[in-house]
Amino acid sequence: MKKIIAVMLMVCLCAGYAVAEEKSEPEKSMTKMANNMGRGFANILTGWLEIPRGLWYEGSRNPFYGQVVGLLNGSFLTVARTVGGAADVLTLGLTGPGIYGESFPDYVWQAKWNPDDKMLDQK
């Protein structure tokens, strides 16, 4: 009888542990959704900073035509970041990684503002 009770107790503990793990999964997805919503609002509000970032970055690389390239590049990235942020907000954070990655970071302040020294030496 003691063995049956011990086995039942072990089964209940394992089932309780499995249920506890299943409950943490929705919490993870809610946290991810909240992060995506925050990223969306931040990108809507700060997307315009891509223009000065592009001007600074491309102007540092080449002072002659860097301002024109920086303005065009910054304008394109402003639209992309603002639309990506709007998509995050409109879908309530269910977009996942979306357009963001290594070459296009989540936030404008995570992007490169200064070119590498190797790029400056190639002039």
Residue 88 lies in a domain: yes
Q: The domain containing residue 39 runs over which residues?
A: 29-121
> Model confidence over 64-116: pLDDT tens digits?
899 999 999 999 999 999 999 999 999 988 877 778 888 899 999 999 988 88
Q: How much is the pLDDT for 18?
A: 44
Place of tokens 């009888």: 1
Number of structural domains in the chain: 1
Residue 54 lies in a domain: yes
Residue 34 lies in a domain: yes
> Model confidence over 103-121: pLDDT tens digits?
899 999 999 988 886 655 5
How far apart, in whole angstroms, are the C-alpha atoms of residue 77 and residue 2?
Answer: 69
Place of tokens 């590498």: 116
Which SS3 state, helix, strand or coil, does residue 30 take?
helix
Residue (of 83, 60, 81, 84) closest to 70 by Cα position: 60
Name the pLDDT band for 29 (thresholds 50, 70, 90): confident
The number of CA neighbours under 13 Å toward the Cβ of 13 is: 6
How far apart, in whole angstroms, are the C-alpha atoms of residue 55 and residue 27?
Answer: 41
Residue 42 lies in a domain: yes
| Phi, psi of 103, rounded to the nearest 5 degrees | -85, -20
Residue 22 lies in a domain: no
Selected residue with higher pLDDT from 26 and 83: 83
Percent of the chain with pLDDT over 90: 44
How far apart, in whole angstroms, are the C-alpha atoms of residue 81 and residue 106?
Answer: 9
